[in-house]
Structures are given as structure tokens and as C-alpha cells.
Amino acid sequence: MTGLKLSCAVVGGGGNVFLVQVDATNLDDKPLVYGLKNVIKANYPVTIRCDAKELLLFLAKKDGMWLDEAGAAAVELDALEYSQAFELMDPSLRLNNARYFGANFKPSEGEIHVLVVVPKATEELVLPAFEYEDNQREQQSDGAVVSGDGIERQTRKLSAPLQISDLTLERGVPSTSKSYC
């Protein structure tokens, strides 16, 4: 397989568009959609915080045309994190499958080829301590500030040890070597 350059957009990522180069060297000679997930995760570990296998990839094609950046930014997901308007890419199929990019794929400028969905459950495993709090100032009657702007409070929260009760789980327990019922 020769090199394939794909423009990807994270759905709900506020215009987070990036380019990935996939070829035999980074796909371990397995040019499958699953390999593309691994390449995306490896190249963008800060943006993609879940395991590669948890990513959902959709073909960014509507009515036979590739989306542009504005079209990708407008994509909405249903409650199950799927986009009914776009084809979910099967991880077991080859990237050069006729359904996806074919053998003679030639990308053009401004096209988005893959919509990347990071599972919401992964996003919600964020500690409440990281949530933004409105700056709350206590003031005396003359308007003088008595206590700070919330920075000290946020610093204490971020310095506190993590408690399992601080996590929000909406889709069950994260993958571990243990099994929970």
C-alpha cells in the first residue's frame, strides 16, 4: 500500500482538523480501518484520550461529496454518539475498499475524509476539580475584595488526592483486567 493522506475532523472538537499519513510503515502491513484508529491515536495522544479501539470513525461523505471543514464542524451526533447521516467505518475492512477510499484515491484540498468520534464516556471521566468555576469574590460593603478569585480553591482541588468517588461513569466501568458486574 502506498501512502494515503487523510484529513480527519474530531466531531464536536470545535474545528479540530488534522492530517494523517497512513502507509505500510505505520499500519504494520495491515491497511485496515482498525490500523487507521491506531495511527490517529498514536499521532494525537493529547486530543484522543481513549484507547484506539474505542474510536468511532465515519466516512465524511455526504451525497457522494467529501465534507469541507465547515460541514464537518456542523455534524451532530445522536444520543448513542452516532451520526445517522454518515457511514460508520468497519474496523475489519481495508482502507482501499471501494466503499471507503478505493485503490485510486486522490485527496483534494479542503476535503475532510474521516469524522472521528471520541466516546463521551471517556470525556466524562474528568474530575469535577477540573471544571471551571465562576470567579467568586467576597466583597465588603465598600466594594473592597475580601477573598480571592477562586484560584486558591481550584489549586487546592487540583492538589487533592484522586478519589474513585470523584469520577463520573456513564457507560460502566472503564476497561481493566478485572471484570465487574
Domains annotated on the chain, with CATH = 4-122 (3.10.20.90), 126-166 (no CATH)
pLDDT digits (tens, 9 = 90+) for 95-140: 988 999 988 889 999 999 999 988 875 544 433 333 444 444 555 5
Per-residue pLDDT, 81:
65
| pLDDT average, residue stretch 36-59 | 88
DSSP string, 70-128: HHHHT----TTS--TTSPBPPTTSBTTSTTTT-TT----TT-B-EEEE--HHHHT-S-G
Per-residue pLDDT, 109:
93
- Cβ atoms of 117 and 55 closer than 8 Å: yes
Q: Which residue has the higher pLDDT, 129 or 150?
A: 150
pLDDT over 60 at 47, yes or no:
yes
C-alpha cell at 123: 470525556
The C-alpha atoms of residue 129 and residue 158 are separated, in whole angstroms, by 6
Per-residue pLDDT, 89:
93
Confidence of residue 7 (pLDDT cuts 50, 70, 90): very high
| pLDDT average, residue stretch 25-36 | 71
Residue found by looking up cell 484515491 in the block: 105
The C-alpha atoms of residue 68 and residue 131 are separated, in whole angstroms, by 32
Decide: helix, strand or coil at residue 43: helix
Per-residue pLDDT, 80:
63
C-alpha cell at 48: 484522543
pLDDT over 50 at 43, yes or no:
yes
Q: How does the average pLDDT of the chain come out, rounded?
A: 73
First to last CA, the chain: 43
